[in-house]
Amino acid sequence: MGTQTRKPENEPHQPVEDPAAFGTYSSPPCFMHELDPSFVGLDGGSERIGDPPLPAGSLDWPAIRQWRKATRTQLIERRLQIGSAERADWSGRIDKALAEALSSASGKLVGFYWPFRGEYDARTLLTGLRTRGVRLALPVVVAKAQPLQFREWWPGVAMSRGVWNIPIPAEGEPLLPDILLAPLVGFDVSGFRLGYGGGFYDRTIAAMPSKPQTIGVGFELSRLDTIHPQPHDMRMDLIITERASTP
């Protein structure tokens, strides 16, 4: 996708009549860097599908960053190719594991994401948990290279289009989630998450005065031996896929 104009956070929001129409959008941190690399301070450059594995000893950050870009592309393409029957089956298994992980979340605030590009969709499960006192919040990008804010969300809440027309709750005080669900482009056996490259989740978790429980959620086909974690990468407390829950 090409670079697009960024809409300032303080512009008047246009109300959106049907929040369900947002089903095809991503949550703000998921896709920002691909829309405008300069917004999150990433370098440009091509992203080549089929790059070889990172050679042993190539542990400098530029090499790792390029490897992550190529790996990210391959994993997203693989995820998009999941058949509808498999997706329904795998998502149902994740639903069960995630419901168990959130069994004691009554009265807590759960930050979640809007699914995009074949990601696991937790919305039905999470909406159902509201009957048990679980509160929900969506992330909002407020400034370049800054932590996310979270605003409370519930079905029917007024929504607007934020940066690059991505849906966000139109109003609300900034909140700190007790539990944070993070989408997985990839993940490794040590619990480190490969995201979309913008660094928003790592930056946000690191800036929180009290670290939330972090749960990475995705499909098993995204498993990697390692993402070659760097000091800025935040380890997930739990990884949930259709096959396993990994502390």
Which of 36-40, 54-58, 67-71, 103-107 has the weakest average pLDDT? 36-40
Please give the pLDDT value at position 88.
Answer: 98
Domain-located, residue 190: yes
Domain that holds residue 174: 60-246
Assigned domain for 26 exists: no
User: What is the number of helices (H) and of strands (E) in the chain?
Assistant: 5, 12
Average pLDDT over residues 95-105: 97
pLDDT at 30: 45
The whole-number pLDDT of residue 55 equals 56
- pLDDT for residue 115 is more than 80: yes
Residue 225 lies in a domain: yes
Q: Which of 98-112, 174-188, 201-215, 233-247 has the lowest mean pLDDT?
A: 233-247
Q: How confident is residue 194, by pLDDT bands cut at 50, 70 and 90?
A: very high
Q: How far apart are CA 49 and CA 72, in angstroms?
A: 9
Over range 100-105, report the average pLDDT: 97
- Check whether 245 has a pLDDT greater than 90: no
Residue 110, in any domain of the structure: yes
**Cα–Cα distance measured from residue 190 to residue 177, given in angstroms and rounded to the nearest whole number:** 24
The mean pLDDT of 12-17, rounded to a whole number, is: 36
C-alpha separations of 178 from 91, 108, 181, 213, 244 in Å: 24, 6, 10, 6, 23
Average pLDDT over residues 62-87: 96
Is 70 exceeded by the pLDDT of residue 50? no
Quote the mean pLDDT of the chain.
Answer: 81
Least confident among 18-22, 136-140, 170-174: 18-22
pTM (two decimals): 0.79
3-state helix, strand, coil in the chain (%, to 5): 30, 20, 50
State yes or no: pLDDT of 51 exceeds 90. no
**Within a domain: residue 46?**
no
- Model confidence at 168, in pLDDT bands (50, 70, 90)? confident
CATH code for position 190: 3.40.50.10420
135 falls within a domain? yes
Q: Domain for residue 42, yes or no?
A: no
Tell me which residue of 230, 151, 221 sits closest to 187, measured CA to CA.
221
What does the chain come to in residues? 247
- Number of structural domains in the chain: 1
Residue 199 included in any domain: yes
Cα 13 to Cα 171: distance, rounded to the nearest angstrom? 9
Whether the per-residue pLDDT at 151 is higher than 90: the answer is yes
Give residues with Cβ within 8 angstroms of 175, minimum separation 6. 109, 137, 150, 151, 152
Q: Which one, of 123, 134, 100, lies nearest residue 244 by Cα?
A: 100
